[in-house]
Amino acid sequence: MACFAATLGVIILAGFINLSAANKDACDLYAVVGESLMLPFVHDGLVNSHKLRWTHNSTIIFYREKGRVSVGKSEDISTAGSLLLKNLQFSSAGTYQAKVLIPNDTMVETWTHRLCMMDKVSKPQLTYMCDPKSSAVNLNCHVAYPQGLVFSWTLDEKTFTSETRPTLSISLAKLKGERSFTCSVANKVSKEKSNTVRPTCKGPPPPTLFCFTSTTVVAVLAGGASLILLLLIIIIILCCCHRCIKTQMRRRDKGALRMLSLNKRESDSISPEYETMHPNEYTENRPAQLSIDSERQQPSPVPKPRTKTPQTPNI
């Protein structure tokens, strides 16, 4: 039992030690490489009689006693004791500690924080791709070294609070009209925003008509229009043929009437001498009534004078 209690105590102690180490390694200050940072230590009652000491990873980087600076530069310290760090590099990361002491080395105030260095984020590049199969537009916010960065999206200057990934998918039904997108990337020390992008994807296809697709409906309408056009062409051709036939019949009727008129003129122009010389032929060609009339109009035969025969004497 005593052994078990001892083992449990060791485990708990080790957990506290690891937790303390983790808290010690945690960064509570962040800075950008190449920039400056004022360490936020403030002691309101700081006077020249106080001793002020700054250390970086246990190395003294500033020391002032009785108003005289022996390590560092006096212009790097504010009146409240804050320390200005210039041209920070990755080697500037670590633990910074400030101590204020009175002349007998009694501690008045202490301040300890850990600084982490980070690069400034680069400007992201926003691209999009239309996906007609899913009726959506896919946006991609590309940036170099995205590890540890936080992404955010805006639509028409309104931020999507629930979207923190480098990609975003929006339904085309929500893109009615011209909509503008931007993405931003940020870390502990900097933030950059992309250029504005306005997707030009086509909207979702219209709903089908009577359970048919739009292609089928268009094909049926085109076929119906072609059929109507064909019927109109056939009707026009039949009308033209009918008109031609009617014109030919009129021409035939006119020709027949002309022939009858010519025959009548020929019959009226036959002379009486021709009738006398060719009675049979004429009577055959003329109607019966004309033959009777012509016979009635012929002159009666002239009587011949009687010739006296010589009388023979009676013997």
pLDDT tens across 224-259, in order? 888 898 888 999 998 888 888 888 888 887 777 777
The predicted pLDDT at position 161 comes to: 82
Q: Is the pLDDT of residue 32 over 80?
A: yes
What mean pLDDT do residues 191-212 have?
Answer: 73
The Cα 50–Cα 66 span in angstroms is: 6
Torsion of Cα atoms, 5 then 10 then 15 then 21, to 10°: 160
Work out the burial of residue 253: count CB atoms within 10 Å of its CB; fewer than 13 is exposed, 13-18 middle, 19 or more buried.
Answer: exposed
The predicted pLDDT at position 178 comes to: 76
Cβ atoms of 167 and 152 closer than 8 Å: no
Residue of 90 and 220 predicted with greater confidence:
90
**Structure pTM?**
0.51
What mean pLDDT do residues 40-61 have?
Answer: 91
Which domains are present in the chain?
Answer: 23-118 (2.60.40.10), 125-193 (2.60.40.10)
Residue 163 carries which DSSP code?
A: -
Q: Is the pLDDT of residue 84 over 70?
A: yes
pLDDT-derived band at 4 (thresholds 50, 70, 90) equals very low
13-27, 83-97, 146-160, 179-193: lowest mean pLDDT where? 13-27
